[in-house]
């Protein structure tokens, strides 16, 4: 009697085991056939991280006069900054470049930002300095991006600051945003840094 009931059990559980086995196979085949502890790929390259922001000021009257503000946050520790003093009472074209220097060779991300111009905007805030900036580019909706700008320096000043902010997916139609005010822009901050500003 005992044997009979065990037999029935074994027979009865065949469909169950089949179902189970196929389920496991289904789940398992989704996984890459790889040792989790020895991944084949190298460490992940952070593709879209901005490490370096570079502002190039070109004198509108004498284009051979070029000034730069550049900062690199690639390495651990203090960022490497290189900031030129700007001459007073001049007008400049200002071009912004965004780079990822955590990978070799470095990747220029400016194109990505320009291509998605409707989803990006740069903002420039001057504190205690005689510098004014205005946008000189536009996205497909006619709203500024901020990769190309003009700037005018006034009288000599020192101890000022130039803050550069890049917002991703801001509300570009919000109040004052097209005029360069970051206050109502929302979105997510991709870049937010401050350059010392000296005008001589």
Partner 1 sequence: MFIPRPRSVLAFFLSFGSFLVSAQSCSFTLKGTVIDEHDRTPLPFAEVFLLEVAKGAVADEQGRYTVAGLCAGPYTMRITHLGCEPVVRQVDVRSDLELDVRLEHHAHELQEFEVARNRPDENVGQASDAIDKEAIERAAGLTLGEMLATFPGVTVLASGPTIAKPVIHGLSGSRILVLNQGIRQEDQQWGSEHAPSLDPLTSERITVVKGAAAVQYGSDALGGVVITEPVELPRDTGMQGEVRAQGVLNGRGGGGHGMLQGGVKGLKGSGWRVQGSGRYLGDSRSSRYVLSNTGVRELGASAALGYRDHRWIATAYYSYFARELGILRTSHIGNLTDLNAAIASSEPWYVSDPTYGIASPRQEVQHHMAKAEVGYAVSDRGRVQVTYGYQADDRQEYDIRRGGRSNIPALDLFLITHTGEAVWKHWLGQRLHGKAGVNGLHQENFNRPGTGVSPLIPNYRKQSAGVFVLEHLPLSEQWELEFGARWESTLLHVAKYDLSGILINPEHTFRNHAFSMGANWALNDSLRIRFNINSAYRPPHVSELYSEGLHHGAAAIETGDEHLGSEGSWKAVLELEGSSGEGRSTFQVTTYADRIHDFIYLLPVGQQLTVRGAFPVFQYTATNAWLLGLDARFGQRIARDWVWELRASTVRARDIEKDEWLFQMPSDRLENMVLFEFPSQGRWSAMEAGLTSTLVFQQRRIPAGVDFASPPATYHLVGCQVSAARTSGRRQWRVGLRGANLFNTAYRDYLDRFRYYADARGIDLTIWVSCTFGAPRTE
Instruction: Give yes or no for residue 197 binding partner 1 (CB under 8 A).
Output: no
CB atoms within 10 A of CB 17: 10
Residues contacting partner 1: total by CB under 8 A: 62
CB atoms within 10 A of CB 136: 16
> Does 51 contact partner 1 by CB under 8 A?
yes
Q: For residue 89, list its beta bridge partners.
A: none
Segment interacting with partner 1 (CB under 8 A) among 35-43, 57-65, 83-91, 140-148: 35-43
Residue 34, helix vs strand vs coil = coil
Task: Determine contact, residues 87/200, Cβ cutoff 8 Å.
Answer: yes
d(CA 29, CA 54): 47
With beta carbons less than 8 A apart as the criterion, state whether 79 and 111 touch: no
Q: Of 28 and 155, which CB lies nearer to partner 1 in the complex structure?
A: 28
Neighbours of 12 (CB within 10 A): 9
As measured in angstroms, the least distance from the Cβ of 178 to partner 1 is 16
Residue closer to partner 1 by CB (options 100, 133) is 100
Report the nearest approach of partner 1 to the CB of residue 5 (Å): 5
CB of 164 to partner 1, least distance (A): 10
Binder of partner 1 out of 80, 161, 175, 192 (CB under 8 A): 192
Q: Which of 129, 147, 153, 167 is the binder for partner 1 (CB under 8 A)?
A: 167
Alpha-carbon span 36 to 138, nearest angstrom? 47
Distance CA 167, CA 124 (A): 11
Work out which of 50, 86, 145, 147 binds partner 1, going by CB under 8 A. Answer: 50
* Tokens (6 digits) for 23: 């389920």
CB 132 within 8 A of CB 179: no
Nearer to partner 1, 62 or 181 (CB): 181
Q: Give me 19's structure tokens.
A: 């179902």
Site for partner 1 in 91-110 (CB under 8 A): 109
Interface contacts to partner 1, rule CB under 8 A? 2, 5-6, 8-9, 12-13, 15-17, 19-20, 23-24, 26-28, 30-32, 34, 36-48, 50-53, 71, 73, 76, 79, 109, 112-113, 115-116, 119-120, 167-169, 171, 184, 186-193
């Amino acid at each position: 009697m005992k044997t009979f009931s065990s037999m029935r059990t074994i027979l009865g559980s065949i469909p169950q085991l089949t179902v189970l086995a196929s389920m496991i196979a289904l789940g398992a085949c989704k996984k890459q056939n790889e040792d989790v502890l020895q991944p084949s790929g190298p460490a992940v390259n952070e593709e879209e991280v901005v490490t370096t922001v570079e502002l190039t000021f070109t004198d509108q009257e004498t284009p051979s006069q070029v000034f730069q503000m550049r900062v690199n946050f690639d390495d651990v520790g203090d960022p490497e900054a290189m900031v030129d003093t700007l001459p007073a009472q001049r007008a400049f074209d200002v071009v912004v470049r965004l780079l990822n220097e955590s990978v070799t060779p470095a990747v220029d991300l400016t194109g990505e930002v320009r291509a998605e111009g409707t989803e990006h905007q740069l903002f420039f805030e001057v504190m205690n300095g005689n510098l004014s900036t205005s946008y000189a580019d536009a996205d497909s909706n006619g709203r500024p991006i901020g990769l190309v700008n003009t700037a005018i320096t006034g009288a000599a000043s020192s101890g000022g600051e130039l803050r550069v902010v890049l917002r991703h997916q801001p509300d570009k139609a919000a109040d004052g945003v097209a005029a360069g005010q970051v206050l109502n822009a929302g979105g997510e901050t991709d870049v937010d840094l401050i350059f010392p500003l000296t005008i001589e």
